[in-house]
Amino acid sequence: MAESPDERAQRLRERLNREYPPRWEPQEGDVLEGTVVRIEPAPTRFGKAIVVEIVDAGGHGHSVWLLHTVLRNEFHRQRVLVGEFVVLRYDGTRRPDGRDPYEAYSVVVDRPDPPPFDWDAELGRIERDDDPVHTVNESAAVSDAGVPDEYGDVPFG
């Protein structure tokens, strides 16, 4: 049975008045695990941010503000959806040599079957075998490490 206009209005008023649960403010090594119940944009004084609401096994809600680039990119890359079970870990501040520090996170989504690895999405599409630009030159010299010299000093490892 379809909801009445009054029921619809009541439901929308409840959504309008709904507040975010407490913000997850982890220390290095902290883990949050639970079910994603809401994902939505929210205004901040610096512009729009994405907020993910997660309910843990104890029924407690947590707002995860995707303000750090690594965390936001992990949620985006994995295409996290409402209803999915996730585990987040704050891995602390990383300070790579000669570069700006960043906040590191690990994110795992519980999915029955992980999607197959998409080589094209990860490394780009390889053209036809008869395309001379993308064909391996089998006669190219090979370094002592077994790497074609055409790669020069590109680090592997």
Cβ atoms of residues 107 and 88 within 8 Å: yes
Residues 6+ apart with CB under 8 A from 13: none
Instruction: Give the model's pLDDT for residue 138.
Output: 46
Classify residue 146: in a domain, yes or no: no
Phi and psi angles of residue 32, each rounded to the nearest 5 degrees, phi first: -125, 125
96 falls within a domain? yes
Q: Is residue 148 part of a domain?
A: no
Residue-wise pLDDT for 56-108, tens only, equals 999 999 999 999 999 999 999 989 999 999 999 999 999 989 889 999 999 99
Tens digit of pLDDT for each residue in 123-135? 776 665 554 544 4
Residue 115 has pLDDT above 90, yes or no: no
What is the strand order of the sheet 102-110 is part of?
Answer: 61-65, 47-55, 31-44, 85-94, 102-110
Least confident of 31-40, 89-98, 109-118: 109-118
Whether 85 is in a domain gets the answer yes
Question: Locate tokens 């379809």: which residue?
Answer: 2
Range(s) of the domain holding residue 94: 21-113
49, part of any domain: yes
Domains held by the chain: number:
1
Question: Count of CB atoms within 10 A of residue 22's CB?
Answer: 9
Three-state DSSP class for 68? coil
pTM: 0.65
Closest CA to 111 of 82, 84, 74, 87: 84
> Does residue 31 register a pLDDT over 60?
yes
Kindly state the percentage of the chain with pLDDT values over 70.
78
Residue 94 belongs to a domain: yes
Reading the block at residue 102, the tokens are 């960043």
86: phi then psi, degrees, rounded to nearest 5: -130, 155
Q: In CATH, what number is assigned to the domain containing residue 102? A: 2.40.50.360
Q: Is residue 67 domain-resident? A: yes
Q: How far apart are CA 22 and CA 3, in angstroms?
A: 32
The whole-angstrom separation of Cα 146 and Cα 156 is 11
pLDDT of residue 74: 94
Query: HEC string of 28-43?
Result: CCCEEEEEEEEEEEEE
